[in-house]
Structure 1
Amino acid sequence: MNPEPQVPATTTRLENMPISFFAVVMGLCGLTLAWEKAEQVMIMPFMVSPYHAAITAVVFVLLLGGYLAKYVLHRDAVFKELRHPVRLSFFPAISISLLLISVVAYPFDPQISKILWLVGAGLHLLLTLFVLASWINHTHFEIQHMNPSWFIPIVGNIVAPLGGVQHGFIDASWFFFSVGLVFWLVLKVIVFYRIIFHNPLPDKLLPTFFILIAPPAVGFLSYVKLSGGIDAFATVLFHTALFLTLMISTQMMKFARLQFFLSWWAYSFPLAAMTVAAFVMAEATGKDWFQVVAVGLFIILNMVLALLAARTIEAMLRNRICVVED
């Protein structure tokens, strides 16, 4: 009797490729933008950001190609993620990645940057409306499904002005900023209600706490782009982000004990956004203590990204990523 044919491991891993992988691109974009700002503010004698930009572009193309292959070969698995109460929120990470790559690409080719922004902004608007419709018309979401990753689809709109302003899309940038800012306030209340009055987040989702930092930090950067300077509202956004960074730092021992999950990449982009925000604040105000905060965060960011890259590569080599998950 002939044995049953074995399903190739590559096929199985492709089928289980998680949409949350695109958080890696967001983190790498954040690192690139942090290096660009550090090179400007600290007048470094060497340029590292172009290499980070190239790596980020390659990773994005590989992940996008992989996920498109998953859609072609395992469409049911993609639709399953679209119905998942947590993974649904990561689909807009694709459009946010495009918006961030647009900012990264601007110094090298403004025209390509503009095209990337237009595609990313249009796609993100569609995904925002899709996710909102899914939330409104759902039949299976419960309060325990709520976690900070739910910020990604709606609050991710705040990212758009980072590239939109430099391309002259002022009205569109205000539109995206307004949507992201208002829904940040709404969703933040729900997230804190879920965290305080219901069971703690499972270990796998604990790193998403860092996402709390991103809305005010990116909001600060976008608002400064839109308004052209630091005013009272910008200062409120920056200090809110700084407080949330301090609040989350009190939980570091809990994070240090966690098993590695792909969700660890939730550490990266919010930390990068806070680092860039601190550099912008230091540059605008000329105050030394903002510079100290910025340099300290920059050092931590590079250490965290090095750790994330190493642990991710190790997990891939040991076949611990792209496996069946709940």
Structure 2
Amino acid sequence: MSSLVARLPLVPASFFGIVLGVIGLGSTWRVAHQLWTLPSAIGEGLMALGILIWAAVLLFFVLKWIVSAEAARAEALHPVQCCYVGLAGVSTMLVGVAVQPYHHIAALCIYFVGLVFTLGFALWRTGHLWRGGCDPAASTPVLYLPTVAGSFVTAIGAGALGFPDWGKLAFGSGLFSWLAVESVLLHRLYTLEPLAPGIRPALGIQLAPATVGALAYLSVSEGPPDMVVYALIGYGLLQLLLLVRLLPWILEQPVSAGYWGFTFGLTALAGSLLRMVLRGDTGPAATMAPIVFGAVNLIMAALMLRTLWVLVAGKILPPVVAASAPKTAT
């Protein structure tokens, strides 16, 4: 048994971000199939791949709590890594959305389990933050994950599963959580020391609130695209340009699994533009949609290949017995 434990990979909660990127891309291909009659098999294949990755990451994540509970607790209390734990619920809700076309009841059950975990973790983590005593230097874009990402994906799932009015409540929760958290993050980025190279890839998450918010808004609304979704896309494009401008600085950290933080925001941007065109937009969204869709697919393909190579080389996952516990939050 001990030899088996020694060979188990210590999967970090941040790996759930891979699920968000792959299922996000699959969802975009589903819309592309509706809009341009592109092969449906690509979108469904990506959805299946995302579900398989989710199942594998979830299995190892649960095993970590069983065979190395100390390391798992340390991760959950870490001032930065803790927020990735919320992605376990967020990714589960997205799996429910992926399953929806095939079995509505199963999709509802999976979505509900993810929703309960997401809400519970968001309340636990945010309640901890509200008590104060946190190091301002630990404020990074991962703070968006528990409440902002959780709420917007709740809205996306609610819309997909036939509960758009409930999704509107979740959209409001995500929107105002985003505005509150962003003020804290920008103050930290503007006034404190630069982010260390190892944490800079987390800046990719900065793209997600606006673009995932746009996708959430489209999921719970009807009719032609309006000023609200255009405003969200516009802010998302500004964040994207800022990230491109900072890319040489961010890339001082070698490309690794941390760069999956970019992917959910990128796929949400492509998916939102395609949905706007599908709903009758003939303006800027129609111009940008094919360009962004193509670029996002190229980026995702490159990142998938890079991640696969790193995994095969064994450079991401240390064995449980070799892992050191991260510094816990005060």
Q: Common fold, TM-score beyond 0.5? A: yes
Query: Percent of pairs identical after alignment?
Result: 23
**How many residues end up aligned between the 2 structures?**
319
| Displacement of 1:236 | 1.5
| 2:273–2:288 contact (8 Å) kept in structure 1 | yes
Tell me which amino acid in the other structure corresponds to 1:232. Answer: M
Q: Whole-Å Cα distance in 1 between the matches of residues 62 and 39 of structure 2?
A: 40
**Among residues 197, 203, 217, which one is paired with 1:203 in the alignment?**
197
Aligned: 1:136 with 2:109? no
Aligned: 1:50 with 2:44? yes
| 1:275–1:297 contact (8 Å) kept in structure 2 | yes
**Among residues 213, 222, 237, which one is paired with 2:207 in the alignment?**
213
| Displacement of 1:251 | 2.2
Aligned: 1:312 with 2:300? no
**Among residues 58, 69, 79, which one is paired with 1:75 in the alignment?**
69
User: More deviation in 190-199 or 313-322?
Assistant: 313-322
| Displacement of 1:260 | 2.4
The runs of at least 4 aligned residues of structure 1 exceeding 6 Å deviation read none
| Displacement of 1:234 | 2.3
User: More deviation in 306-315 or 286-295?
Assistant: 286-295
Distance 1:311 1:78, change over 3 A: same
Q: Whole-Å Cα distance in 2 between the matches of residues 213 and 293 of structure 1?
A: 17
Distance 1:138 1:73, change over 3 A: farther
CA RMSD, Structure 1 to Structure 2 (Å): 2.1
SS at match of 1:210: helix
Tell me which amino acid in the other structure corresponds to 1:216. Answer: A
- Aligned counterparts, 1:238-317, within 5 A: 238-287=233-282, 289-317=284-312
SS at match of 1:250: helix
Counterpart of 1:123?
117
**Among residues 226, 231, 237, which one is paired with 2:220 in the alignment?**
226
Distance 1:317 1:303, change over 3 A: same
Q: Whole-Å Cα distance in 2 between the matches of residues 149 and 296 of structure 1?
A: 28
Structure 1 residue runs without a partner (length 5+): 1-6
Distance 1:116 1:232, change over 3 A: same
**Among residues 30, 34, 37, which one is paired with 2:28 in the alignment?**
34
Q: Whole-Å Cα distance in 2 between the matches of residues 64 and 224 of structure 1?
A: 29
| Displacement of 1:33 | 0.8
CA deviation digits over 1:128-161, x for unaligned, max 9? 101112212364x311111111100010111111
Q: Whole-Å Cα distance in 1 between the matches of residues 192 and 203 of structure 2?
A: 15
| Displacement of 1:255 | 3.9
User: More deviation in 146-155 or 97-106?
Assistant: 97-106
Q: Whole-Å Cα distance in 1 between the matches of residues 295 and 249 of structure 2?
A: 17
| 2:212–2:264 contact (8 Å) kept in structure 1 | no
| 2:16–2:91 contact (8 Å) kept in structure 1 | yes
Q: Whole-Å Cα distance in 1 between the matches of residues 7 and 295 of structure 2?
A: 32
Counterpart of 2:102?
108
| 1:37–1:276 contact (8 Å) kept in structure 2 | yes
Q: Whole-Å Cα distance in 1 between the matches of residues 50 and 192 of structure 2?
A: 38
Counterpart of 2:143?
150
CA deviation digits over 1:8-46, x for unaligned, max 9? 4x6346463211111111111111111111111122255
| 2:94–2:153 contact (8 Å) kept in structure 1 | yes
Distance 1:180 1:288, change over 3 A: closer
Q: Whole-Å Cα distance in 1 between the matches of residues 283 and 221 of structure 2?
A: 24
Distance 1:219 1:45, change over 3 A: closer
**Among residues 138, 156, 160, which one is paired with 1:162 in the alignment?**
156
Structure 2 residue runs without a partner (length 5+): none
Q: Whole-Å Cα distance in 2 between the matches of residues 81 and 282 of structure 1?
A: 42
Tell me which amino acid in the other structure corresponds to 1:90. Answer: Y
Tell me which amino acid in the other structure corresponds to 1:93. Answer: L
* TM-score of the superposed pair, with normalisation by structure 2: 0.89
* TM-score of the superposed pair, with normalisation by structure 1: 0.90
Distance 1:261 1:186, change over 3 A: same
SS at match of 1:17: coil
